[in-house]
Structure 1
Amino acid sequence: MRNFDTDVLRALVAIADTTSFSLAAARLGRSQSAISLQIKRLEEQVGKALLTRTQGRVSGPTAEGRLLIDYARQILRLNDEVAEVLFEPSLGGRLRVGVPEELMESAFTGVLDEFSRAYPRVTLSLNCDLSVQLASLLEAGELDVALLKSVDADPRAKDTLWHEPLVWMRGIAHPVPQARPLPIAVFQEGCVFRVAALERLARHDIAWRIAFTGHSYAGLRHAVASGLAVSPLPLSLLSDGLEIVGEGLPRLPQARLLARFASGQQMPAARRLVAMFREHLWSGRRRERLA
């Protein structure tokens, strides 16, 4: 049987997340040469190249690399989970979590169900709010972990869970209004997506007006689907009744999701929840590619 070393798989995932051997080595507390040797031996074991290199830099995984990375994330999550169950049997208590509201509309529900079944002695307390408010609560010690939206974070940073395009969306049956000011639908003031979109419109001298302000994705989606306005949203929130605006509006930055822990030692339960969420996001992307 061919067995994969979890330390080597962890190195491969770190390189995929950071697109850098040196940053992956720093994340894992190893030397760059040690990480390079691990990947070389892994490629020899698999018999295929796993990473695409351009002028000595990692430009991304190969097709075989993407497949192995997706499985590696699941293997590592299960490895870490059983290790914590065996060596930290007291995993329990209250876990205070902050999440943006739109995550509750999509991926987070499945993660919560899985986490609750895996760790029934952990009592979850959720707070849905703007990322800027969640960051303040985290700093004040009122949250143990927060998932925060961002558009300017370093994609190679260790706390980056996910990244995807931020795009303009409109109702399928409704073209983008040509008259100005442009009607837009956004989340409440302070939302990082709102700030980024308004900055891009101002940079391109496009007059705008806020036609809808909402606190939930459901309300915003209905406003856009009805033709009331266009909206800047992460690509993963594209749903029935909406389509991407292909041209005519300024390009938006990448949407990123960050995991931040309270100062001091990270709670084991918080680490497990974040790991589950990361694996859920990447596994979802793999399922979409195979569909």
Structure 2
Amino acid sequence: MNGGATVNMESNAAALDIVLLRTFIEVVDTGGFALAAEQLALTAPAVSGHIKRLEPAAGTRLLSRTTRSFQLTPAGEMLYVYARNIVNLEREVRARLRQAPTAECMRIGASEDFTGAWLPRVLQAFRRTHPGASVELKVGVTANLVDDLQRGDFDVVFGKQCARVPGNGTLLWEEELVWAYDADSVFDSDNEVPVAVFPEPCVYREAAIAALTHAARPWRLVFESSSMAGCLSAAQAGFAVTPVARSQLREGLRVLDLSDCMPTLPNVQFYAFANSTSAAARELIAAVEKSGRQARFHIPAHW
């Protein structure tokens, strides 16, 4: 020991306990011991104790900690990658052992936000843990998909709203809705706002028009597309301004705000709507919710 600055590591590292690996992953994913404790239904001291037991087993320090934050050490970064694979593989094995392959079909509807960012990785994991299941996916507008769900056309719909909804909707996370515009173009805040939006019905369109109208900001519709890629391309070309969830911003776009005389938009809430009480549907919704947590989205308390 050198003034207590080093960790007393065992020369022959013990086996890596999968429970400790799960805790380690949760600490990294949530960004803190208290949040990890909440997700794991443990106390913060218990989570800290798990990490203290894991480091000697790994034979090296995994986290470089200060009083308020931590960073992964190079060894911690490497273990995180392996730990996630180990935990996922263990989960997959348990799923295969407890259920024989089935011909179950999961019918999913999703808005373009989900299919373009979060859903592919989640569906890959779902197929591994449900090897006999098939997946049918339709991309569309949330309002239309929910109507189809109520008619029995889907088991689960993933979509967005700009207001909290009652009923069987499960709130997954919420984030900022922002105005996107070309990063290299000068925005003329004195003239009417050229807007690019989805066709009706669309919550982004409704929120944008309501905000501009409430702020008495003149605007005109110059581009309408059923594709988010189309609206973002119009914005990046400096042709129009488009409302978009902050996580959907891409290189070459910037956010217009009050300094550009653009009104504030409401937050957008992402929901799962279920027409099935199957374990597979619940697992899929939980996996999508966790993906939002790992992306550091705001997860409001469910009501």
Q: TM-score, normalised by structure 2?
A: 0.63
- C-alpha distance in 2, partners of 1:152/1:37? 41
User: Separation in 2 of the partners of 1:6 and 1:181?
Assistant: 58
Match of 1:229 among 235, 240, 256: 240
Given that 1:259 and 1:274 are in contact with CA atoms closer than 8 Å, whether structure 2 keeps it comes out as no
1:49 matched residue in structure 2: 63
Structure 1 counterpart SS, 2:138: strand
Offset, 1:26: 4.8
> Could you say which residue in structure 2 is the equivalent of 1:218?
229
Instruction: Indicate the percent of aligned positions where both proteins have the same amino acid.
Output: 29
Counterpart position of 1:79? 90
Alignment of 1:1-291 (within 5 A): 3-16=15-28, 24-42=36-54, 45=57, 46-49=60-63, 53-54=67-68, 61-64=70-73, 69=80, 72-105=83-116, 108=119, 121-134=132-145, 142-149=153-160, 160=172, 166-171=177-182, 174-189=185-200, 191-198=202-209, 201=212, 206-235=217-246, 237-238=248-249, 242-245=252-255, 248=260, 249=262, 257=270, 261-262=274-275, 264-267=277-280, 271=283, 275=287
1:77 aligned counterpart, secondary structure: helix
1:94 CA drift (Å): 0.7
Aligned residue pairs: how many? 271
- Mapped partners of 2:172, 2:106: distance in 1: 21
Q: Distance in 1 between matches of 2:28 and 2:45?
A: 17
Q: Structure 1 unaligned runs (5+)? A: 284-291
d(CA) in 2 for partners of 1:194 and 1:66?
Answer: 41
Asked which structure has the greater CA Rg, the reply is 2
- Deviation string 1:153-187 (CA, Å, 9 cap, x unpaired) is 9xxxx9747x7765433246643233432112122
Please give the alpha-carbon distance, in whole angstroms, between the structure 2 residues aligned to 1:8 and 1:243: 41
Displacement of 1:96 after TM fit?
1.2
How big is the shift at 1:84? 0.8
Q: Post-superposition shift, 1:219?
A: 2.7
Partners of 2:107 and 2:290 lie apart in 1 by: 18
Q: The residue matched to 1:62 in structure 2 has which SS?
A: strand
| One-letter code aligned to 2:95 | E
- Alpha-carbon shift at residue 130 of structure 1 (Å): 3.0
Letter in 1 for 2:253: E
Once the two structures are superposed, residues 165-215 of structure 1 have per-residue CA deviations (whole angstroms, 9 ceiling, x without a partner) of 654332466432334321121224454444554565567664433333322
- Residue 6 and residue 211 in structure 1: after superposition, are their counterparts in 2 closer, same or farther (change >3 A)? farther
Pick closer, same or farther for the CA change 1:253–1:213 going to 2, 3 Å.
Answer: same
Cα deviation code 1:30-74 (max 9, x no counterpart):
4555334323433565524366653xxxx6x52346765555444
Q: Deviations over 1:249-271 (max 9, x none)?
A: 45667766555655634217x63
Secondary structure in 2 matching 1:211: strand
- Seen in structure 2, the aligned counterparts of structure 1 residues 2 and 251 have a Cα distance that, compared at 3 Å, is farther
The whole-number CA distance in structure 2 between the counterparts of 1:185 and 1:273 is: 31
C-alpha change, 1:186 and 1:37, in structure 2 (3 Å) is same
| Structure 2 SS opposite 1:96 | strand
* Local SS of the residue matching 2:137: strand
Q: Give TM-score scaled by structure 1 length.
A: 0.65
Unaligned runs of at least 5 residues, structure 2: 1-12, 165-169, 296-303
Aligned partners of 1:75, 1:204: CA distance in 2, in Å? 53
